[in-house]
A and B are shown apart, each in its own frame.
Chain A
Amino acid sequence: MDQTSSYIALGVIAVYIGLMIAIGEYARRRGERTAEDFFVAGRMLGTFATFWLAAGTWWSALAFLGSNGWFYGKGITFLANLFTNAFFGLLLVVLGVRVWRLGKKYGYVSPGDLVEDFYGSKLIRYVLAAILLIFTVPYIQVQIMGAGYIFEASTNGLVPFWLGSLVLTLTVMIYTSLGGKKAAAWTNIVQGLLLTFGIFVGGAIIIAVAGGPAAIVHKILQLHPELLVIRSPTLWGVWFSFPIIALGGIVGPQMILNMYSAKSERALRVTGALLPFLALSFLVAMYIGFSGRILVPNLSRPDSVMVVLLMKYTPIAFASVILAGGLAAAMSTIDQQAHAISVLVSRDFVWSAYRKISQSLQVNIGRLAIIITLLAAYFMALQSPAYIAYIGAVATSGTAQFLPILAGALFWRRATKEGALAGLLGGIAMTVYMQFFPPPQLKALGIFSGWWGLLVNVPLFVVVSLLTKPHDLEKVERLIRDANTPAEV
Chain B
Amino acid sequence: MERKPSPYKWIIIFILAFAYVMYLPPIASHFNSPGMVAGLPLLAAWTVLWFLVFVVTAAVGILKGWL
Residues of A whose CB lies within 8 Å of any CB of B are 76, 79-80, 82-83, 85-86, 89-90, 93-94, 212-214, 217-218, 220-221, 225, 228-230, 235-236, 239, 269-270, 272-274, 276-277, 279-280, 283, 286, 484-486, 489
**In the complex, which residue of chain B has the Cβ closest to the Cβ of A229?**
B32
**In the complex, which residue of chain A has the Cβ closest to the Cβ of B62?**
A273
Say yes or no: A86 contacts B55, CB within 8 Å: yes
Q: Please give, as numbers and ranges, the residues of chain A lying within 8 Å of B51 by CB-CB distance.
A: 82-83, 86, 279
Given contacts A79-B47, A86-B51, A230-B25, contact A93 B67 (CB under 8 A): yes
Given contacts A229-B33, A270-B63, A283-B48, contact A83 B39 (CB under 8 A): no
Say yes or no: A213 contacts B62, CB within 8 Å: no
Say yes or no: A82 contacts B47, CB within 8 Å: yes
Chain B, interface residues (CB within 8 Å), range: 20 to 34
Residues of B whose CB lies within 8 Å of any CB of A are 1-3, 16, 20, 23-25, 28-29, 32-36, 38-44, 47-48, 51, 54-55, 58-59, 62-63, 65, 67
Say yes or no: A228 contacts B39, CB within 8 Å: no
Tell me, rounded to whole Å, the shortest Cβ–Cβ distance linking A358 to chain B. Answer: 39
Given contacts A76-B43, A83-B20, A229-B33, contact A486 B58 (CB under 8 A): no
When chains A and B are docked, how far (Å) is the Cα of A485 from the Cα of B1?
Answer: 6
When chains A and B are docked, how far (Å) is the Cα of A80 from the Cα of B42?
Answer: 14
Q: Please give, as numbers and ranges, the residues of chain B lying within 8 Å of A235 by CB-CB distance.
A: 25, 29
Say yes or no: A76 contacts B41, CB within 8 Å: yes
When chains A and B are docked, how far (Å) is the Cα of A126 from the Cα of B38?
Answer: 53
When chains A and B are docked, how far (Å) is the Cα of A183 from the Cα of B54?
Answer: 34
Q: Could you give 23 example pairs across A and B, Cβ below 8 Å?
A: A76-B44, A79-B43, A79-B44, A80-B47, A82-B48, A83-B51, A86-B51, A86-B58, A213-B39, A214-B36, A214-B38, A217-B40, A221-B34, A228-B34, A239-B23, A239-B25, A269-B62, A272-B62, A273-B58, A274-B59, A276-B55, A484-B2, A485-B1
Q: Please give, as numbers and ranges, the residues of chain A lying within 8 Å of B1 by CB-CB distance.
A: 485
Say yes or no: B58 contacts A276, CB within 8 Å: yes
Tell me, rounded to whole Å, the shortest Cβ–Cβ distance linking A446 to chain B. Answer: 12
When chains A and B are docked, how far (Å) is the Cα of A464 from the Cα of B25?
Answer: 34
Q: Please give, as numbers and ranges, the residues of chain A lying within 8 Å of B54 by CB-CB distance.
A: 83, 86
Tell me, rounded to whole Å, the shortest Cβ–Cβ distance linking B40 to chain A. Answer: 7
Q: Name B3's contact: one of A83, A230, A286, A486 (CB within 8 Å).
A: A486
Say yes or no: A273 contacts B63, CB within 8 Å: yes
**In the complex, which residue of chain B has the Cβ closest to the Cβ of A93?**
B62
Q: Which of A83, A286, A485 has the most CB of B within 10 A?
A: A83
When chains A and B are docked, how far (Å) is the Cα of A156 from the Cα of B54?
Answer: 42
**In the complex, which residue of chain A has the Cβ closest to the Cβ of B20?**
A83
When chains A and B are docked, how far (Å) is the Cα of A343 from the Cα of B54?
Answer: 35
Q: Please give, as numbers and ranges, the residues of chain B lying within 8 Å of A80 by CB-CB distance.
A: 47
When chains A and B are docked, how far (Å) is the Cα of A214 from the Cα of B39?
Answer: 4
When chains A and B are docked, how far (Å) is the Cα of A212 from the Cα of B39?
Answer: 8
Say yes or no: B55 contacts A269, CB within 8 Å: no
Known: A90-B16, A236-B25, A270-B63; 17 extra A-B contacts, CB below 8 A, are: A79-B43, A80-B47, A83-B54, A86-B54, A90-B58, A90-B67, A93-B67, A213-B39, A213-B40, A214-B38, A214-B39, A228-B42, A239-B23, A239-B24, A273-B62, A286-B41, A485-B3
When chains A and B are docked, how far (Å) is the Cα of A197 from the Cα of B55?
Answer: 22
When chains A and B are docked, how far (Å) is the Cα of A441 from the Cα of B11?
Answer: 40
When chains A and B are docked, how far (Å) is the Cα of A76 from the Cα of B24?
Answer: 15
Q: Please give, as numbers and ranges, the residues of chain A lying within 8 Å of B29 by CB-CB distance.
A: 230, 235
When chains A and B are docked, how far (Å) is the Cα of A44 from the Cα of B37?
Answer: 46
Tell me, rounded to whole Å, the shortest Cβ–Cβ distance linking A247 to chain B. Answer: 15
When chains A and B are docked, how far (Å) is the Cα of A217 from the Cα of B54?
Answer: 25
